Amino acid sequence: MKKIIFKLINIDILIKVLYGKIILILIIIYKILPKQFQFCNTGVKNLEDLKKYSRNNLYKLLNNFFYFDLDLDLFLHRNFFQKEKFSSFGDNNFHSMWYLIFKNFKPVNCLEIGVYKGQVITLFSLLMKKFKYNGKVFALSPFSDVGDSTSDYKKTNYLKITREAYNTLKLPRPIYCISLSHLKKGKMFISKNKFDLIYIDGNHDYKIVMSDYLHCLKSLNTKGVLVLDDSSLYTNFNLSFKGHPGPSKVFKTALNNRKLKFLFGLGHQNVFQKTI
């Protein structure tokens, strides 16, 4: 019986699982230590500290920040969304990026265009709670498997999964708009509100990304933050996925917009602030 059980166990997978859990436990132990004993900190305190780094080096730096500097609850939030049921996209260091954005700007009204399973919008809610201020999170998405010229998605109930994530994490629910961003309902949802932060992560086709960008720019408050996803294809970044042509062309347009100040690029994300 013992031999049969042994043959049924994939030792490589078992070692990988146990190794992963050990590393996770060690990271958690490190993060609950008093700050004076957390000797591996990156030293990054705010967005100003990021300016001296190249795009590739910044990617490495904020990955280290995720493991050594980021608060435990935010680290576990990312871990929660890496589980099989949620399995959201993105890199670990994006959690570091959002943390620094919220720490520095404390955006009140925040919009994500193109919600997958709720990782980003729940993080927005969690960061508002962490920094102890009241805000609103807006979510514009079809919450379906509709794709585009570059992306396909599995058929599942994305809205149900997102709501379940909010319930599990015990966070206040966002304001939903179930629509494609380029339809009348979606455009109205953007135009009737004013935002301090907008994350464009919806359709990747150029015309629709440009439409999102132009509509969002009108509804973004002065000093508000605009983040373009999947938009670093034409940059010198080479450590991970760079993005798609559509968003990357819009990024080049945004760089020449006098109303926007380019803050930094992290992987396939690019961050601007509206100045006028």
Split at pLDDT 50, 70, 90, the class of 16 is: low
Assess whether 10 and 105 both reside in one domain. no
* Phi, then psi, of 167 in degrees rounded to 5: -65, -45
Assess whether 255 and 161 both reside in one domain. yes
Strand partners, 225: 197, 273
Verdict on whether the full-model pTM lies above 0.85: yes
Assess whether 68 and 144 both reside in one domain. yes
Half-sphere exposure of 215 (CA within 13 A, CB side): 23
The CATH number assigned to the domain holding 171 equals 3.40.50.150
Stretch among 100-104, 157-161, 266-270 having the lowest mean pLDDT: 157-161
Q: How many domains does the chain have?
A: 2
- Number of C-beta neighbours around residue 170 at 10 A: 9
| Rounded (10°) CA dihedral 241, 198, 179, 183 | -100
Separation CA 274–CA 196 (nearest Å): 9
Separation CA 12–CA 9 (nearest Å): 9
Quick one: pLDDT at residue 7?
Answer: 41
CB 104 within 8 Å of CB 129: no
Tens digits of residue pLDDT in 106-146 = 999 999 999 999 999 999 999 999 999 999 999 999 998 77
- Rg for the chain, CA atoms, rounded: 20
Instruction: Give residue 252's domain range.
Output: 44-274
Assess whether 31 and 76 both reside in one domain. no
Assess whether 164 and 205 both reside in one domain. yes
Tens digits of residue pLDDT in 32-41 = 988 877 788 8
Assess whether 29 and 156 both reside in one domain. no
Tens digits of residue pLDDT in 20-68 = 788 888 889 989 988 877 788 888 988 989 988 999 999 999 999 999 9
Assess whether 219 and 264 both reside in one domain. yes
Residue corresponding to tokens 């109303």: 259
Assess whether 9 and 94 both reside in one domain. no
Q: Which helix (H) or strand (E) holds 73?
A: helix 72-80
Assess whether 249 and 145 both reside in one domain. yes
Assess whether 77 and 1 both reside in one domain. no
Strand partners, 272: 226, 262
Tens digits of residue pLDDT in 65-82 = 999 999 999 999 998 998
Assess whether 32 and 105 both reside in one domain. no
Assess whether 135 and 270 both reside in one domain. yes
Quick one: pLDDT at residue 117?
Answer: 92
- Number of C-beta neighbours around residue 203 at 10 A: 25
What three-state secondary structure class fits 131? coil
Q: Once rounded to an integer, what is the mean pLDDT over residues 175-185? A: 96
